[in-house]
Structure 1
Amino acid sequence: MADPFVWDEALLRRYDTSGPRYTSYPTVFSFRDDFGETDYQAALARSNVDGRPLSLYVHIPFCRNACFYCACNKIATKATRVAEPYLSRLDREMVLIKPHLDTRRDVAQLHWGGGTPSFLSLDQMSDLIDRLDARFGLSNARDRDYAIEIDPREADVLTLRHLQALGFNRLSLGVQDLDPRVQRAVNRVQPRILTEALLDEADRLGFRSLNLDLIYGLPLQTRDSFAATLEQIIAMAPARISVYNYAHVPERFAAQRNIPREDLPGPEEKLAILRTTIAMLTTAGYVHIGMDHFARATDSLALAQREGILQRNFQGYSSHAQCDLIGLGVSAISCIDDVYAQNPTRLEDYETALDAGRLPTARGIRLTFDDRLRRHVIERLMCDMALDLAALSETFDIDAPRYLADALACLEAPERDGLLTREGQRLVATPLGRLLVRHLAMAFDKYLPRHPDARYSRIV
């Protein structure tokens, strides 16, 4: 097994600052509290004119056990019945949205996240799908992308058969690490056989683009222990593998206070884990899509990247064309037309708004021309690992090198350090630069200096 490119550890450490993951631009730290229900309704009306396909995201905040590393908006409980009032309020939110939205548009994407969506009983899953179909009209098209995040401890083969009958065709399974010592340290004991059994059944049922989530930087991990996990994951042959960087922020997430800082791998070991990961997955035939995503060369993500049509949204990378995203549930974010709108992050505030007959829009932002241009720049850089300034000039009717002169000046040092190259008006991230693409994207973020106290995860 050889490294796919020459590593410069000193350079990586120098650029390993904290920064946004750019699932949106502007990021949530720039959303405004004076953005409310009427602003969201106006955005829905504008989106009807353009008629883009719809993407629905449903946040299910419940899970039975709190994993110590988790930074999601979640509620740990073992009582499935607590989901009933939440499902009723989700339906109320749909009812309030529907009069403002042309629901004849195709629902090309559906994603259930959490929490743990597989916390719901099979009947509750059916009920939620029925409500979504009644309000928005779900698709039966073969190219639809209907995905759900699964906790293998909360599902079995009957669950997968039920999900297939409901119309889901893509699964993402949370694994994190297969080392029993690491699993105990993060309060997520999950024998390998659970994951293998679900993968085998999902493959037999015809689910496509199966994804496994891993996390590096967890307590007690070493380069050798994680290599053992990767060896087992590669043998399972999922189409996609996500390897996320653990961000230890115990002051923000109470569950992380159960992880002693001294148990975490140090910076050198963590970098070695990342190096091992990229080398092993590349050798096994996976394409490094960008940041923490890997996919088989024949997978739709890799194909979309080669064709220059890869997209990025709150769920990560997507192979589908741009959709208008409707976020449903506590903390969910919508991206409609030129607007981001976020629901309350506290369940009580979400419930109060809906019980009062109001859309639960807590904050958001309407993008300016400059915001839309920079969003496009950052998305293309993070999806294509390159930026075509000539194409940008044509798309936005500007002189891109002049308009973005300050940002391009910020990239001169990374260019000298070998993180990107210039080919005429085309900027291309090098293999090392792909690892640090978040840093390259930060050069175009005009809001970043306004939020010096914002807590972002480290880049690598």
Structure 2
Amino acid sequence: MHTVIPLARHGPGVLDLNGQADIRRFHPGIGSLDMLRALRTSRQRQRPLAVTLHWPANPPSDEYPRSLAQEIQLVGCHLGARQPLEYFQWRGAASIGAVQTLMAAMRERFHFLAPGRGDYGIDLDPYHTDWAGMGLLRDLGFNHVCIGVPDARAEGVHALAWYRDPAPIQSLIDAARTFDFRSVSVDLGYGSAWQTLASFDTKLASLIALEPDRLQVFDYARPPSRYLAQPARAQCSAADKAQMRQLCFERLGAAGYHYIGLGLFARGDDDLIQAQERGRLSRTSEGFTLHGYCDHIGLGLGAISQIDGLCAQNSSTEPAYAQALHNGQLPTCQGWQRQVGDGLREYVVERLACDLELDIQAIERRYGLVFSQYFATLWPLLEQWARDGLIELSAQFLCVLPDGRRQVDELCGLFEQA
């Protein structure tokens, strides 16, 4: 029996991509040796890999690329040479030169798939990437791009000017189409004090007109990790934020975008939407993915790795990160190991987030329990959601109804805290 932290019955819709990894459970008892054991297990089982490399939001020191190269070498030497790298994501906008150097190090140690087979993405700063750079990135093997928020590093008049100007984003989308990138995602932040409902509506309309494959919408008060190093900014009112969220659901829905969850919207023909419809979508510490069956390895400051039951995080400060690598050790500083009972909650949350439904009878058979009794303190709230027309609920099945799609993150949060 579990105690549920009280939450509001349901809100106007959540657009928050934080909380994919339950860092509340992290403790310093997890370290380099735990990560080495996990890498050895991955090598022995020859499991496919998904790797995320983190580049800081603020310009790092000249030493950081060298430290990253050291980590790439150290992690790579504990993995099998033929373990397929099915997914790679470069998080954070870096110079083309830094990308070229570190991609050379990656290819020395990791087995990239043949062109067109893997999913390899990179974050871009629209004010520091041009057509020539897009061509170089395509030559390096990237086939997905995420275009960052141009106003994320500015305040006042500069932020407003960058916010209003769609030309840099349009140029990169045109380049991505020309160079045959598989998908284009655009970040959109809301909630700054200088934003108004009218200006946000105009910005949203301009992005919809550019027809990106995906839009990642987030609250500036809870930004993605790639923006966390930016100074805190003044916020608009809670009422204005709620209206901006509402606009996202209305405008993007009318334009043919589907809400997946965690602030992510995608077009109906997107790979993630198709995977969701077929029950093949997964969710990890990086969000929604087609590669949930892979061992997930994080490289760089604050990066999180998930291998079997281990969730491990690198040091978030550059001195500690660099010192560990200088000593020949992995920079793991904290994490947690899945315990008995954690698997059930993780499974329920992932399947609910990805499939928008739960086969309660199958869960009961799999884990040997009565679902309504195990989540007894949560069940009355679920019944209220059902009466409000947000979910369909029975002893055998839970299904998120169309009116409840925008509350799916909040619904998952109830189970995460159960």
Assess same fold via TM > 0.5: yes
**What's the counterpart of residue 42 of structure 1?**
37
Q: Report 1:108-187 matches (<5 A).
A: 108-114=86-92, 116=93, 119-120=94-95, 122-175=96-149, 184-185=158-159
Q: Which residue of 1 aligns with 2:326?
A: 355
Describe the shift of the 1:317–1:186 C-alpha distance in structure 2 as closer, same or farther (beyond 3 A).
farther
Counterpart of 1:36, as a letter, is G
1:75 counterpart = 2:66: no
Residue equivalent to 1:310: 281
Contact 2:166–2:207 (8 Å) recurs in 1 = no
Aligned position for 1:388: 359
Deviation per residue, 1:179-212 (Å, 9 max, x gap): x997734795673211111110110111012101
Report what 2:199 is aligned to.
225
CA distance, structure 2, for counterparts of residue 248 and residue 337 of structure 1: 28
One-letter identity of the residue aligned with 2:266: A
SS of the aligned residue for 2:306 comes to strand
1:244 is aligned to: 218
- Structure 2 residue runs of 5 or longer lacking an equivalent are 1-7
Equivalent position of 2:19 in the other structure: 22
**Equivalent residue number for residue 102 of structure 1:** 80
Gapped regions of structure 1 (runs ≥ 5): 1-9, 62-73, 449-460
- The answer for the alignment partner of 2:67 in structure 1 is 89
TM-score by length of 2: 0.88
Q: 1:455 aligns to what? A: none
- Report deviation, 1:156: 0.2
Structure 1 residues 204 and 19, CA gap change in structure 2 (3 angstroms): closer
Secondary structure at 1:421 match in 2 = strand
Letter in 2 for 1:220: W
Structure 1 vs Structure 2 CA RMSD: 2.9
Deviates more, 1:224-233 or 1:417-426: 417-426
Report the residue type matching 2:355 in the other structure.
Answer: D
Q: Residue 434 of structure 1: CA displacement?
A: 2.5
Map 1:238-277; keep pairs closer than 5 Å: 238-247=212-221, 255-257=230-232, 259-261=233-235, 264=236, 266-277=237-248
Q: What is the one-letter code of the residue matched to 2:66?
A: S
Q: Which one is further off, 338-347 or 93-102?
A: 93-102
Query: 2:105 & 2:81 partners in 1: Cα distance?
Result: 13
Q: TM-score, normalised by structure 1?
A: 0.81
CA contact (8 A) 1:177 1:214 kept: no
Structure 2 distance, partners of 1:19, 1:412, is: 24
The residue type equivalent to 2:19 in the other structure is: Y
In the alignment, what sits opposite 1:298? 269
Q: Is the 8 A contact 2:208 2:255 kept in 1?
A: yes
Residues 309 and 337 of structure 2 are in contact (CA less than 8 Å); yes or no, is this contact kept in structure 1?
Answer: yes
Q: Is the 8 A contact 1:177 1:229 kept in 2?
A: no
8 Å Cα contact 1:408-1:443 kept in structure 2: no
CA distance, structure 2, for counterparts of residue 248 and residue 108 of structure 1 = 29
SS in 2 for 1:152: coil
The one-character-per-residue Cα deviations of 1:294-352 (angstroms, maximum 9, x if unpaired) are 11111101101101111122332223342111111111110111111100011110011
Correspondence 1:296-445 to 2 at 5 A: 296-445=267-416
Q: Within 5 A, what are the aligned runs for 1:194-213?
A: 194-213=168-187
**What is the distance in 2 between the residues matched to 1:362 and 1:45?**
19
Q: How many residues align?
A: 407
Q: How many Å separate the matches in 1 of 2:253 and 2:16?
A: 26
Structure 1: distance between partners of 2:15 and 2:136:
41
Alpha-carbon distance between aligned partners in 2 of 1:364 and 1:243, rounded to the nearest angstrom: 28
